[in-house]
Amino acid sequence: MKDLKEINRSLIKTYKKAIWKKTIKAIDEYQLISEGDTIAVCISGGKDSFLLACVLKEINRHYKIKFNLRFLCMNPGYSEIHLNKIKQMAAHLEIPLEIFDTPIFEIIKNEKNPCYLCARMRRGYLYSKAQELGCNKIALGHHFNDVIETILLNMLYAGQFGSMLPKIHSDNFENMTLIRPLYLVKEYDIKRWMTFNELEFIDCACSVTKKKNDSKRQEMKELIEKLKEVYDDVDKNIFKASENVNLDTLLGYYDGDNRTSFLDRF
């Protein structure tokens, strides 16, 4: 494992184009950060959330807008081994981690669909803790591949076209916003950064499902890789499709709760 100075330097040198510039671009293009924000960076212990913490900490030193950071780790019931790994990595990266306990794993252990319930509960606990600490935003480590996989999952399994937005307002927590600064960063480059710096993060620490991957999401990863063998830019085009929607060619679409049919304007 390389020392912190080398790790931070790699973000603005070796991975300047792939990670640093793309994170800045997402922050600027999607207006993710405003002057005076206090952002809770949510760390699960995996590569994505720890990279998010590192890059935001470094951006905070150089960025034109001044903002504050808190680093939250929600413990849903991790084993001592996993929790210690998270603490050790946070210490090495000099991330002042604030860990708080929740009973999520205990609550969901007998559920038929534990992953769905876990995701909803995690979000609620994170919003609540962040708000308690005086934050107005939470930052999650979702990246480019999460976005395009979500698009395909919605199309193939839900029968709808829907994406994952770079920021959303909370419906249940007043004046709270969720942001995704790694929105344009590819998972491939996150893995490269991790390997380059000889870092090891926990993968899945769930004590309920004991699964490493969401099977449907893993299917989407494999499908995208197969498609890229035929056309290398297919991942970029899936992403672009979500910002180039032509409403005139759709049978129908929703605007909030209102559904519009092509027949309404025929």
For the chain, give the percent of residues with pLDDT over 90.
81
| pLDDT at 209 (0 to 100) | 56
pLDDT-derived band at 205 (thresholds 50, 70, 90) equals low
**Cα–Cα dist 11/200, whole Å:** 17
Residue 139 in 3-state DSSP?
Answer: strand
Lookup: tokens for 235: 């991942």
Q: Residue 61 pLDDT > 60, yes or no?
A: yes
- Chain length of the chain: 266
Q: CATH 3.40.50.620: does it fit domain 4-265? A: yes
Distances (CA, A) of 192 to 74, 89, 150: 26, 18, 23
**Cα–Cα dist 128/135, whole Å:** 10
**Cα–Cα dist 101/78, whole Å:** 9
Taking only the tens place, the pLDDT of each residue in 155-174 is 999 999 999 999 999 999 99
Mean pLDDT, residues 109-129 taken together = 85
Give the start-to-end residue ranges of the domains of the chain: 4-265
Name the residue among 164, 186, 142 with its Cα closest to residue 46.
142
| pLDDT at 206 (0 to 100) | 65
If one compares 211 and 25, the residue with the highest pLDDT of the two is 25
**Which residues fall within 8 angstroms of residue 161, CB to CB, at 6 or more apart?**
151, 154, 155, 242, 245
What's the pTM value of the predicted model, to 2 decimals? 0.93
